Amino acid sequence: MHLPNKLLLLLLMLLAGAVGCESADRSTEVEPAAPAEYIHPSFTLTIEDLHGITADIRPPQREAILQRPQVFLDLVDRALDLPFEYTVLVDKEYGLAADFVPAGLVSLNEYPTLKTARNDLSLMAAVMPKVLALDEAARQDGIELVYASTYRSYRYQQGLFATWVERLGQEQAERVSARPGHSQHQLGTVIDFSPISQVFSGTQDYAWLKANAHRFGFSLSYPYGKEDITGYDYESWHWRYIGHDGVRLQREFFEDLQQWYLEFLHYNRERLEQARRGSQ
């Protein structure tokens, strides 16, 4: 059967229109977004996210992080799981509650190999294996460390600071002593080695600690020439345990300054925690 020419032409036009619409529909379809390129398996972070997180830190630190993002985030992933006492920022601005007491304090009297200047010293039990390892390594190198001050309660620090204020006045006292609640000693992770004076910086004990303490997770809190950053005068005798991963972060990414490492963790912890896989 033959269709009239006009009807055949109409059918051809309708068919062409349908094909055109289908092509137009296909051409306006939105391509699915490419999956985000996360830079570490433990975090939902892209390199752009890391650029944002590091935007406000010093250029040398930012450059070090962006050059080795995998290593950096691997260390951060583990540091986020460290005990509170190892990573909390305690300085002139941020402090601890008056009733804060670290978990599991033990007396140094229980460890006869340690030489102490007093019989009332204590530290967190969790750090003692590292303390004993550090002490043993020092002895093997002919160094006998003397432990002069460790955990201090809020109340003890209150009395100590008042003594310094009476002796030096408020302004000078705040350079050499912490206000109650703002002393790292309240964490139970800090050791002052004897003698507690600038004499210590010229001893073999200090030279050994400077070269080796990081191998055991210890960090010098108040280095020479950094008072404008730490808020305190140089204290060669004051060492805080921040863990092996903390020490690596400090040394490799934060210009080997504990204050900068702890500040970064303090200001970015929430964002980093939220970006960890499995945190939702």
In a domain, 10, yes or no: no
- Asked whether residue 202 falls in the same domain as residue 144, the answer is yes
**In this structure, is residue 48 part of a structural domain?**
yes
Residue at 7 is within a domain: no
Range of the domain at 102: 83-242
Clarify whether residues 101 and 227 are in a common domain: yes
161 and 134, same structural domain?
yes
Give the pLDDT of residue 1: 47
pLDDT beneath 70, residues of the chain: 1-35, 279-280
Q: Which of 128, 122, 268, 152 is nearest to 161 (CA)?
A: 152
Q: In this structure, is residue 29 part of a structural domain?
A: no
Question: Is residue 235 in some structural domain?
Answer: yes
Does residue 91 share a domain with residue 76? no
Residue 93 Cα distances to 112, 172, 173, angstroms: 38, 17, 16
- As for how many domains the chain has, the answer is 2
Please tell me whether residues 175 and 112 are part of one structural domain. Answer: yes
Residue at token pair 């996210």: 49
Looking at the fold, whether 156 and 41 belong to one and the same domain comes out as no
Q: Is 93 domain-assigned?
A: yes
Q: 206 and 159, same structural domain?
A: yes
**SS3 assignment for 50-100:** HHHHCCCCCHHHHHHHHHCHHHHHHHHHHHCCCCHHHHCCCCCCCCCCCCC
Same-domain check for residues 100 and 159: yes
**What was the pLDDT predicted at 36?**
74
Please tell me whether residues 234 and 170 are part of one structural domain.
Answer: yes
Is residue 237 included in any domain, yes or no?
Answer: yes
Same domain, 161 and 69: no
The pLDDT assigned to 4 comes to 58
CATH code of 163's domain: 3.30.1380.10
Asked whether residue 226 is domain-assigned, the answer is yes
Based on the domain organization, do 120 and 171 belong to the same domain?
yes
Both 115 and 100 in one domain: the answer is yes
